[in-house]
Amino acid sequence: MIDQSPAEIVQDILHIHQDRIRIYKSGLHHMTDMDGDVKALFERMIEESIKYAQQLTSYIQKADGIKGNTYKIWEGPKAPGGATDKKSIVRTCASDELALVNTYSMALSSITYDKELENLLQLQRQNIIELYNHIRQFYNAQ
């Protein structure tokens, strides 16, 4: 269980999605010879993080830049930075998605009295699990 208020948890998840957008946009920019399917994967991850961040924005008043315990759960694994071959990049993406699933699980264990927020996080978590499964299948096909 995370010792944070629901607003702090949402703020951390917003930070995570902002980081993911930045990381994957950077990956698209720096990997000019990127395979088309990896590029599509990065673009999907960016689009989903943008969508999730927009959905969560209504739950916080002001993002002050402080990253709390929820963010720290996700922070360990990082998205593609040094990986250059396709299989390593996809493996890193899978690791990132799994860390995000775990972050959402921990956040959900702390939010019990805000049903609307709980439902939104459960829906986003389910979509992230589906993307994670897609990435795993893609990785195994390599």
How many helices (H) does the chain have, and how many strands (E)? 5, 0
Count of CB atoms situated within 10 Å of the CB of 15: 20
| For the chain, domain boundaries | 6-141
DSSP assignment letter at 63? -
Q: 22-47: per-residue pLDDT in tens?
A: 989 988 888 777 678 888 999 999 99
User: What does the angle CA 35 – CA 38 – CA 53 come to, to the nearest 5 degrees?
Assistant: 145
Amino acid letter for position 115: K
Closest to 44 (Cα-Cα) out of 67, 63, 27: 27
CATH of domain 6-141: 1.20.1260.10
Q: pTM here?
A: 0.76
Q: 50-96: per-residue pLDDT in tens?
A: 999 988 886 665 445 556 667 776 666 554 456 667 888 888 888 88
